[in-house]
Amino acid sequence: MSKILVGTSGFGYDDWRGVFYPEKLKKGEMLRYYASRFSTVEINTTFYGIPAPKTFVKMAETTPPWFDFAVKANKELTHNPEVDPGVFASFTEALKPLLEAGKLACVLAQYPWSFRKNEENVGRLRQLRERFGDLPVVVELRNAEWVGEETFDLLKDCRLAFCCVDEPRFKGLMPRVAIVTAPPGYVRFHGRNAKKWWQHEESWERYDYLYTPEELSEWIPRVGEISAAAEKTYLFFNNHYKGQAAQNAVMFADMLGLPTESKETFISEQGQGSLFGMND
Dihedrals φ, ψ of 25, to 5°? Answer: -65, 130
What DSSP character marks residue 228?
H
Number of C-beta neighbours around residue 130 at 10 A? 10
Kindly indicate the confidence band of residue 272, based on its pLDDT and cuts at 50, 70 and 90: very low
pLDDT value of residue 194: 79
What DSSP character marks residue 205?
G
pTM: 0.90
Kindly indicate the confidence band of residue 62, based on its pLDDT and cuts at 50, 70 and 90: very high
pLDDT value of residue 1: 53
Q: Measured at the alpha carbon of residue 41, what is the angle toward residues 97 and 64, in degrees to the nearest 5?
A: 60
CATH number at residue 220: 3.20.20.410
Q: Could you tell me if residue 112 is inside a domain?
A: yes
Q: Could you tell me if residue 272 is inside a domain?
A: no
In this structure, are residues 104 and 69 in contact, taking their beta carbons and an 8 Å threshold? Answer: yes
Q: How many residues does the chain have?
A: 280
Q: Could you tell me if residue 169 is inside a domain?
A: yes
Q: Could you tell me if residue 275 is inside a domain?
A: no
The pLDDT of 118-130, averaged and rounded, is 97
Range of the domain at 73: 3-245
Q: Could you tell me if residue 44 is inside a domain?
A: yes
Q: Could you tell me if residue 139 is inside a domain?
A: yes
Q: Could you tell me if residue 269 is inside a domain?
A: no
* Closest to 237 in 3D by CA, of 250, 223, 256, 255: 250
pLDDT tens profile 229-241: 999 999 999 999 9
Total domains in the fold of the chain: 1
